[in-house]
Structure 1
Amino acid sequence: MPAARNAEFAHAFAVRLMQHLVVPTFVLDAERKVIIWNKACERLTGVAAAEVLGTSDHWHAFYEEPRHCLADILVLGSTEELESLYAAHSEPGETAHGIRAENWCVMPRVHKRLYLAIDAGPIFDEDGALLAVVETLRDNTEQKLAQMALHSLAVKDGLTGLANRRSFDEKLEAEWLHAQREGTPLSLLLVDVDHFKLYNDTYGHQKGDSCLKAVAEAMGHQVFRPTDLAARYGGEEFAVVMPSTDLDGALRVAERIRQSIFDRNIAHSASQTADRVTLSIGAASIIPDEEHDPGDLVNAADVALYRAKHSGRNRVMVNEMAAAE
């Protein structure tokens, strides 16, 4: 009996200890019922232990719709769900018997969206049967937002919010290799704001910045496939990379962009070709092969852009030599 009393005391002590841990923690039994929901978990989620103890309703502390938490996945052995449910996760076996994952959680009760780092580990009896799973949570929201901000600075243009030149170069290189491997067309648009120097001289640099933002916004509305990339190429020049797009498709997008800016009717009294801001666009398309490289596609689009400028501006021109056959 002393041994049994000692075991009971040890269990009670472990429960009290877990209740007062500063790390948000909850425990599910082998039936996925909550048997511990500590005070730190209450503070994090706004959900009192009394609401979830003895139930499988712990999901509503983190999500607006029913779904499995990491502890549930361990109890059920359904690790195939990890990919669809979590932004990042370890592979089973990488952390002994446990799993680590990261995810955005909506936290409905406290009306917050938090990025949580999650650890779940099983507890087995002497015969290897699952007794419970312990899930611990860590609020990594500030770190995640800082990481996202740094990533945005690295890949986005600070003025327009479009992809920057570095992102453009990387995207073009990657899509070139993919198109070469698949034998599919790759198209490129180079977009230039007509008489932009005169616009800046007439209206000032703040208005010039507003003009560039308007062009970027228009491009964002017209370039909506997730595979495409609209970027600020430099100064008043923009670019659009369009995988799996032939010349006809590129022309349709280019014309939509040109017309969108024309229809915005941004006054440009100093323009030598129109009473408003307009765009000149060069389009080129090619099925990549061993005899060409991404620079050839850029050059082809640049030649087409030059033709558009010297043919009256406010138009789209094509480099036929680079068009995919």
Structure 2
Amino acid sequence: MPTFVINAERRVIIWNRACERLTGVPAHEVIGTSDHWRAFYDEQRHCLADLVLMGRPEAMDELYVTHAEPGDSTHGLRAENWCVMPQVKKRLYLAVDAGPIFDEDGALMAVVETLRDQTEQKLAQMALQSLAVKDGLTGLANRRSFDEKLEAEWLHNQREGTSMAVLLMDVDHFKLYNDTYGHQMGDTCLKSVAAAIDKQVFRPSDLAARYGGEEFAVIMPNTDLDGARHVADRLIEAVRELRLPHSASQTEDCVTISLGAAAFIPSDQRGSGDLVAAADAALYRAKHQGRNRVVCADRVAELVEA
């Protein structure tokens, strides 16, 4: 197991072969120095063993992604972190244990730091977490993420007394597109449309999602109907500008979308579902009027043509 030891002066006294292989740093370059940090980071900072020697477990909050709550100081510290590994030129996720060594009088004389490469496990965990919140085809947030975000922002905007908006949109004549070009091209079309939508959703607080099938949605906290309409117009134009051929379309000769927008201030009389329903009704009217357009619902959910 990759291991190194620093003495009470925080100088390296042991740097084993496994540590050499992991870091790409030979022992003769670090033995007797305090430069052990150079094996893991491209900027000077403390390693876990340093914190044990310095008696500074509280610094783990700033330096490590995750860590065990420090208990009895005689048992050392445990943490995990991404390390840039300058010599081997790759980023690794390392699990680290730092244990103190005491002399016969109980004085701290050295610290042993052991390292475990957890990169594959961490990447697998991140992939699973991504699958839980993202749509597998388009990379946008999935329906579950949309529903959770909608409820959270509804409650927040209700407390603040501010308006929030939802946009719902469909790819026009998508069944005809699939029938004409095949399902594989249909998937490619959805990915292209999703990317165009995502590029127009600028604010970190907003969320673009695949709502289902060929339908997409955007949640926009702290946004009134004018602001929602402005973004909706950008989305319509962004998809048009893709110029994806659609010879079977009854609207234009390229892929287009229809969009419904709704915005109002959350209240006890209405729930988040009412906001989505208003946007959905506006989307239905946009399609009924010929598609490739935006229709807005007003604050009492009565539809008005955009």
**Contact kept? 1:190, 1:283, Cα under 8 Å:** yes
1:166 aligns with 2:137: no
Distance of aligned partners of 1:46 and 1:240 in 2 relative to their CA distance in 1, 3 Å threshold:
same
Q: How far off is 1:302 after superposition?
A: 0.7
Distance of aligned partners of 1:292 and 1:124 in 2 relative to their CA distance in 1, 3 Å threshold:
farther
Identity %: 72
Query: What residue in structure 2 maps to residue 304 of structure 1?
Result: 282
Choose which of 231, 237, 243 in structure 2 pairs with 1:253: 231
Q: How far off is 1:126 after superposition?
A: 5.3
Choose which of 16, 26, 29 in structure 2 pairs with 1:51: 29
1:145 aligns with 2:123: yes
Matches within 5 A, 1:218-237: 218-237=196-215
Alpha-carbon distance between aligned partners in 2 of 1:134 and 1:286, rounded to the nearest angstrom: 60
**Residue by residue, what CA displacement relative to the aligned partner does 1:101-143 show, whole Å, maximum 9, x if unpaired?**
1111121212222111111223344555432222111111121
- TM-score between both structures, scaled by the size of structure 1: 0.85
**Contact kept? 2:143, 2:212, Cα under 8 Å:** yes
The amino acid that maps onto 2:100 is P
Which secondary structure does the structure 2 equivalent of 1:102 belong to? strand
Tell me the matched-pair count: 301
Distance of aligned partners of 1:124 and 1:181 in 2 relative to their CA distance in 1, 3 Å threshold:
farther
Q: How far off is 1:84 after superposition?
A: 3.1
1:317 aligns with 2:304: no
Choose which of 89, 101, 105 in structure 2 pairs with 1:123: 101
1:106 aligns with 2:84: yes
Choose which of 72, 89, 98 in structure 1 pairs with 2:67: 89
Alpha-carbon distance between aligned partners in 2 of 1:31 and 1:95, rounded to the nearest angstrom: 18
Gaps of 5+ in 2: 302-306
Alpha-carbon distance between aligned partners in 2 of 1:182 and 1:134, rounded to the nearest angstrom: 52
Alpha-carbon distance between aligned partners in 2 of 1:133 and 1:249, rounded to the nearest angstrom: 58
* Larger displacement relative to structure 2 (240-249 or 260-269): 240-249
Q: How far off is 1:177 after superposition?
A: 2.4
Alpha-carbon distance between aligned partners in 2 of 1:245 and 1:304, rounded to the nearest angstrom: 17
**Contact kept? 1:297, 1:322, Cα under 8 Å:** no
Report the aligned-residue RMSD. 2.1
Q: How far off is 1:253 after superposition?
A: 2.1
**Contact kept? 1:250, 1:283, Cα under 8 Å:** yes
Alpha-carbon distance between aligned partners in 2 of 1:69 and 1:322, rounded to the nearest angstrom: 59
Which secondary structure does the structure 1 equivalent of 2:245 belong to? coil
- TM-score between both structures, scaled by the size of structure 2: 0.90
Which secondary structure does the structure 2 equivalent of 1:154 belong to? helix
Alpha-carbon distance between aligned partners in 2 of 1:302 and 1:83, rounded to the nearest angstrom: 45
Alpha-carbon distance between aligned partners in 2 of 1:320 and 1:266, rounded to the nearest angstrom: 32
Query: What residue in structure 1 maps to residue 171 of structure 2?
Result: 193
